[in-house]
Amino acid sequence: MVGYYYGCGSVFLRQIFLAVMVELSQEIKHLSKTLYEDVVAYRRHLHQNPELSFQEYETSVYIKKQLQLLGIPCEEVAVTGVVGVIEGKKQGLHKTIVLRADIDALPIKEENETTFVSQTEGVMHACGHDFHTANLLGVARILQQLTYAFSGKVLLLFQPAEERVPGGAKAVIASGILEKLGGTVSAVLGLHVSPRLDTGQIGLCAGRFMASADEFYLKINGSGGHAAEPNRAVDPIMVAAQLLTTLQQVVSRKANPLMPSVLTFGKIIGNGAANVIPDYVWLEGTFRTMDEAWREQALKYVEEIVDSTVKVLGATAELEIKHGYPMLINDIPLSRYFKTLMINHFGTAHFEDVPQWMAAEDFAYYSHKYPSVFFLVGIKNEQQRTQYGLHNAKFDLDEQAFLTSMQATTVACINFLEELNG
């Protein structure tokens, strides 16, 4: 059989394939509903026991325990990460697909009042990674019952440290474990909850989807003094003000207007007083864009502008640029196929072509190495609760979204394998 992604076989074979897929979709819907309560329990356990990036030791133990209960072999990666392996029993070419979920939490004190509020002081799953992890455990259980329906391997990647540069994805790729367990990786599939989409919706942006993200840490050294005698000082606050204005020209005058670019400084400390000019000012900021060549050039412009502006005003600067994640690229042919699958399974009303998003994700590293699709799952139900944004201390989600996420992930996984192995 030659499938949708790589071509079309005979009409008769295609009709048989579609009939089988329709029946399989119904089975996936049934299994997701059967497992729903268990998956909610996974999520609530994880939510109560969050761990920060590179510290997800108990989370890792919990994941391995659940996989072992399912009889799914697994190995550790990047210290706290876990990779499980499910092998299809159908005849085929045995391609490999990776399903990725991130497992870390954020340094945020939770302000919700649920029965499963975080039990770890100052740490919270405020970005939905508890949902992502629980979803993948649910998908693992569904796939375990459907191994007759696909050939090839599915690698269940529970990845640590998405929230903290350099990110866990980089370590996973460098370890070589995906190739070790699965050979050549044909596709990587990941998801993220979206508080902007209603529960039951799937969102996707083909091609460039999420931005690169680099961080600036800048100290401007002046010479403090009395506010009444600025001529006897080098005022780092005024230098910082001039510099912030000048740096915006990187976006407004250097960038191609058609290329999304964001330069934002979110922290500035000039610890003087009403009558005191401080010795230094501290600034922190970020630069984001959707083009790797422009990203490199923009960072050079920032360095040049900082050096020249500070120097001409008589101050000095200490600039650190912390390079973050690259932009995330959704493979266009796979994205088109994914969209077709979602519309066939859920209906047109439940799929949305979403715009580019200037947030960053270390899933981007996979997208630069393998054909990848990173999609959004709606979690907003305003009738149930006020929906707060990601990284908010009151962030929560509609757990009914698990029915959508489990089905979407499983449908895409099996169909991708069948097309690739067909």
- Is residue 279 flagged as an active site residue? no
Strands 276-277, 225-226: pairing is antiparallel
130, 162, 361, 398: the catalytic one is: 162
User: Nearest to residue 103, comparing CAs of 144, 147, 146, 67?
Assistant: 67
Rounded to whole angstroms, the Cα distance separating 297 from 310 reads 20
* 180: number of Cβ within 10 Å: 11
Beta bridge partners of 192: 376
Residues in the chain, overall count: 422
What tokens does 410 get? 């499983």
Rounded to whole angstroms, the Cα distance separating 155 from 173 reads 13
Helix (H) or strand (E) holding 267: strand 261-269
- Is residue 235 flagged as an active site residue? no
51, 56, 102, 104: the catalytic one is: 104
Secondary structure string (H, E, C) spanning 192-251 = EEEEEEECCCEEECCEEEECCCEEEEEEEECECEECCCHHHCECHHHHHHHHHHHHCHHH
- Can the peptide bond before residue 166 be classed as cis, meaning omega within 30 degrees of 0? yes
Which residues are part of the catalytic machinery?
104, 162
